[in-house]
């Protein structure tokens, strides 16, 4: 673990009072899960930037490697669960996918433990990181618990496999409600339900009906429906026509990655998972990049932007804007960029640059 | 590969024509106009399918006509979801009844069209009869709906075989299977396994695979890495629409559905285009190129080449671009230009 993360986390753990930042703002606890590979170094970068911004966040670092609980069922360590239940907010770096470890992926465990039903990805074009698509500003909201990822598959007879896609009224209503609430809270003007109800009449039809019902309670937000294929077709020609998109699991998986591709990939895309009981875990969605781990080459942008999303979720908009501006300005100026962004600076240099800007913007 | 039906009645072919809804009827009437003008030896048997009816008589008539003629050209038939869910998509019924198992789409950048990515040349082969489009759904408990996705070994082998055969025929170097086998381990796992088995019989062609979400991300950033792609039904829907968008939109790309005994041609992205119907602004390119694919299938290569060249030459005229390409040209302007070019080639044509 890098020194930066250790110092902040440990000082709190050792009972030292963290430096009071502002008399009017209470420190809020956030469970920090650094993750694997480049996870620890990018988490340290985020902590450092937050320190420079004097954000009222107290980090509680936890590990979520699965352990076998009583009864032989895999679960996340109890201290991690306890911390999340208490703080309600988490920031997570990339977790490595276990192969032949005997336990399911940690992401799946987290999702089930905290009932993380909504995956939210705002995709905004980053000025200074050029892609063929400019002015992208949309949000994909994906139902994350059911749909095509129910994991229910059977071999009917040899050579015939059936995979079950599950759509329920409750999950559909819940995600639709979240989408409209999000739109209202973030001043977005329209919500589009993405579906294939022409082919999957009952399942996507149910999803669509629930969206329509919820839309009735949000007359201030425009509601439209569009076929998945039409969305794909239009998205690659003119992404500016989209605002908030809500959809079942598989379409959400595909579309959110498609949109990430438009703005520059998973290295610059933030993501948040909203759970029942007010829990929210924000995360970077890229991999652990084991080939560059520990070499101070990683790009912390994705995790940083997810942390910014987290600040907005917590109502700390001023800090969010400052940190985001500092990050975007650094990228736009192109003087200090990590390798994947086209430069050859180190992670620590990139981080320091953002820290300076954040302080200047105060 | 599929053999076309032999010509009858003095060298003329009969092709089933299904106008469909939206822009279908007007685009197909332009196809007939161009064919008449170019003296193409094809007669069309028109079968209308009324999407507002709940009975399946219309679509069954269309299917019978296609069985009779072996070849069809169609517009998209609208699926109204206000109807009960027992009323299935007519287009889907047609594909499954005729077992048109391979949907083939060749996405090529056209020189006269401005797009963000240039020089794209991707062939997409999509399994067309099963997968998520099995139309097997039920509400087991109130408020809980199950939709079945079926993947079979035989259909997966069949489509993989088709993809590799086509790749070899067209001199393509690489086939990429698109899947989500990390999540749907049995279903997509079976599909992937079948592709690998078939690949081993084609050592001259490189085979690799990619997860569907990564595929879409790669398509919008680095599309040139793709050559031939093969995939199950739903991912095919997504990928083909993404690719169509990359080369300029739904008005440009033709599509073909091949089965063991029948072939049906249409626009690749199968849009009804209700909002632009009847306004003379639809782009006739996709449908005309689809009709050329049909002519190739009927071995009427010369006619296909003449019409195709005229269409592509007209595409270079930016002032004739229709609204979908950012222009203000009308459908009839484009068609007139195409016919002028055909006439100027000196072929025997009908009176203007």
Lowest mean pLDDT among A95-99, B219-223, B225-229, B238-242: A95-99
Which pLDDT tens digit goes with each residue over B199-208? Answer: 999 999 999 9
Does A22 have pLDDT greater than 70? no
DSSP for A284-304, please give it: E-S---TTTTTTT----HHHH
- The full DSSP string for B5-31 is PPPBTTTBEEEEEE--STTHHHHHHHH
Taking only the tens place, the pLDDT of each residue in A135-169 is 999 999 999 999 988 889 999 999 999 999 999 99
Which of these ranges, A75-84, B250-259, B283-292, has the smallest mean pLDDT? A75-84
Q: What was the pLDDT predicted at A294? A: 93
> Binning pLDDT at 50, 70 and 90, where does residue B350 land?
low
Taking contacts as CB-CB distances below 8 angstroms, the residues of chain B near A211 are none
With CB atoms and an 8 Å threshold, state whether B137 touches A201: yes
Residue B348 predicted with pLDDT over 80: no
Tokens of A356: 């300076």
Confidence of residue A72 (pLDDT cuts 50, 70, 90): confident
> Is B271 within 8 Å of A230 when comparing Cβ atoms?
yes
| Ranges A95-99, A148-152, A280-284, B254-258: which has the least confidence | A95-99
Predicted ipTM of the assembly: 0.91
Question: Hey, of A258, A260, A265, A287, which one would you mutate to test binding to chain B, going by the most B CBs within 10 A of its CB?
Answer: A258
pLDDT at A104 over 80: no
Average pLDDT over residues A47-67: 93
Nearest to B159 by CA among B192, B134, B126: B126
Q: Are A167 and A207 in contact (CB under 8 A)?
A: yes
Interface-testing mutation among B20, B140, B241, with chain A (most A C-beta atoms within 10 A):
B241
Q: Is the Cβ pair B242, A265 closer than 8 Å?
A: no
Between these two residues, B260 and A127, which has the higher pLDDT value? B260
Q: Is the pLDDT of residue B244 over 70?
A: yes
Partners of residue A202 in chain B, C-beta under 8 Å: 85, 137-139, 145, 147
Residue B11 confidence (pLDDT): 84
What average pLDDT does this structure show over B320-339? 95
A313-340 pLDDT, tens digit each: 999 999 999 999 999 999 999 999 999 8
Tokens of A199: 């082919």
Average pLDDT of chain B is 94
Quote the pLDDT of residue B349: 56
Express each pLDDT in B32-90 by its tens digit: 999 999 999 999 999 999 999 999 999 999 999 999 999 999 999 999 878 888 888 99
Minimal CA separation from A261 to chain B, in Å: 4
Residues of B in contact with A203 (CB under 8 A): 137, 145-147
Neighbours of B207 (CB within 10 A): 21
Instruction: Verify whether the Cβ–Cβ distance B237 to A133 is below 8 Å.
Output: no
Assess whether pLDDT exceeds 60 at residue B302. yes
Closest residue in chain A to residue B156, using alpha carbons only: A159
**Chain pair A-B, CB pairs under 8 angstroms:** 169
* Contact check, Cβ <8 Å, B242/A262: no
Which of A132, A201, A233 faces B244 most closely, judged by CB atoms? A233
Angle at A157 between CA A156 and CA A158, to 5 degrees: 130
Interface test with B, best of A142, A227, A232 (most B CBs within 10 A): A232
Å between A169 CA and nearest CA of chain B: 5
Name which of A151, A167, A262 is nearest B220 (Cβ-Cβ): A262
Contact criterion met (CB below 8 Å) for B155 and B207? no
Chain A partners within 8 Å of B249 (Cβ)? 233, 237
Whether the predicted pLDDT of B153 surpasses 80: yes
B180 chain-A contacts, CB cut-off 8 A: 250, 253
């Amino acid at each position: 673990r890098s020194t930066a993360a250790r110092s902040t986390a440990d000082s709190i753990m050792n009972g030292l009072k963290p430096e009071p930042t502002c008399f009017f703002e209470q420190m809020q606890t956030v469970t920090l899960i650094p993750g694997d590979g480049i996870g620890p170094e990018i988490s340290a970068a985020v902590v450092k930037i937050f320190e420079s911004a004097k954000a009222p966040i107290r980090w509680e670092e936890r590990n979520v490697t699965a352990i076998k609980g009583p009864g032989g069922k895999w679960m996340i360590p109890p201290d991690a669960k306890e911390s999340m239940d208490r703080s309600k907010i988490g920031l997570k770096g990339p977790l490595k996918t276990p192969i032949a470890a005997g336990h399911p992926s940690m992401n799946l465990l987290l999702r089930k433990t905290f009932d993380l039903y909504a995956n939210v990805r705002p995709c905004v074009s980053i000025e200074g990181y050029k892609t063929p698509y400019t002015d992208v500003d949309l949000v994909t909201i994906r139902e994350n618990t059911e749909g095509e990822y129910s994991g229910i598959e059977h071999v009917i007879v040899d050579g015939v496999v059936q995979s079950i896609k599950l759509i329920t009224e409750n999950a559909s209503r819940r995600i639709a409600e979240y989408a409209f609430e999000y739109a209202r809270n973030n001043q977005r003007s329209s919500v589009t339900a993405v579906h294939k109800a022409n082919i999957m009449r009952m399942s996507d039809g149910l999803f669509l009906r629930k969206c329509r019902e919820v839309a009735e309670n949000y007359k201030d937000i425009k509601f439209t429906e569009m076929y998945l294929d039409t969305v794909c077709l239009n998205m690659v020609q003119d992404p500016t026509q989209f605002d908030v998109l809500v959809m079942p699991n598989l379409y959400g998986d595909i579309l959110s990655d498609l949109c990430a591709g438009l703005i520059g990939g998973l290295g610059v895309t933030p993501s948040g998972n909203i759970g029942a009981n007010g829990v929210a875990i924000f995360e970077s969605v890229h991999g652990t990049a084991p080939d560059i781990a520990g070499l101070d080459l990683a790009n912390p942008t994705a995790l940083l932007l997810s942390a910014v999303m987290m600040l907005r979720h917590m109502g700390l908009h001023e800090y969010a804007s400052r940190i985001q501006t500092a990050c975007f300005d650094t990228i736009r100026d192109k003087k200090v960029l990590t390798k994947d962004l086209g430069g050859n600076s180190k992670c620590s240099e990139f981080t320091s640059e953002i820290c300076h800007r954040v302080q200047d913007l105060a | 590969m599929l053999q076309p039906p032999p010509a009858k009645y003095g060298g003329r072919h009969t092709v089933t024509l299904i106008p469909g809804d939206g822009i279908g009827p007007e685009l197909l009437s332009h196809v007939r106009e161009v064919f008449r003008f170019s003296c193409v030896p094809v007669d069309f048997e028109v079968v209308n399918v009324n999407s507002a009816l709940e009975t399946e008589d219309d679509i069954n008539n269309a299917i019978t006509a296609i069985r009779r003629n072996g070849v069809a050209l169609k517009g998209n038939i609208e699926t109204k979801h206000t109807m009960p869910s027992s009323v299935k998509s007519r287009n889907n019924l047609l594909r499954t009844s005729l077992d048109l198992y391979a949907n083939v789409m060749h996405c090529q950048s056209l020189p006269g069209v401005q797009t963000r990515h240039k020089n794209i040349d991707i062939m997409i082969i999509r399994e067309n009869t099963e997968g998520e489009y099995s139309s097997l759904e039920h509400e087991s408990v109130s408020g809980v709906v199950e939709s079945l996705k079926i993947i079979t070994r035989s259909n997966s082998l069949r489509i993989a075989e088709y993809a590799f055969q086509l790749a070899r025929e067209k001199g393509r170097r690489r086939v990429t299977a698109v899947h989500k086998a990390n999540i749907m381990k049995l279903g997509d796992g079976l599909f992937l396994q079948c592709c690998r088995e078939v690949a081993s019989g084609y050592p001259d062609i490189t085979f690799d695979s990619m997860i569907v979400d990564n595929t879409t991300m790669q398509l919008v950033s680095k599309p040139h890495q793709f050559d031939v792609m093969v995939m199950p039904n739903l991912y095919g829907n997504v990928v083909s629409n993404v690719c169509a968008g990359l080369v300029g939109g739904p008005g440009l790309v033709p599509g073909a559905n091949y089965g063991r005994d029948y072939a049906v041609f249409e626009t690749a992205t199968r849009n009804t285009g209700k909002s632009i119907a009847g306004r003379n602004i639809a782009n006739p390119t996709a449908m005309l190129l689809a009709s050329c694919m049909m002519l190739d299938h009927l071995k009427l290569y010369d006619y296909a080449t003449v019409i195709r060249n005229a269409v592509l030459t007209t595409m270079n005229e930016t002032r004739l671009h229709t609204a979908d390409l950012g222009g203000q040209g009308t459908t009839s302007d484009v068609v007139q230009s195409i016919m002028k070019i055909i006439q100027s080639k000196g072929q025997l044509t009908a009176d203007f």
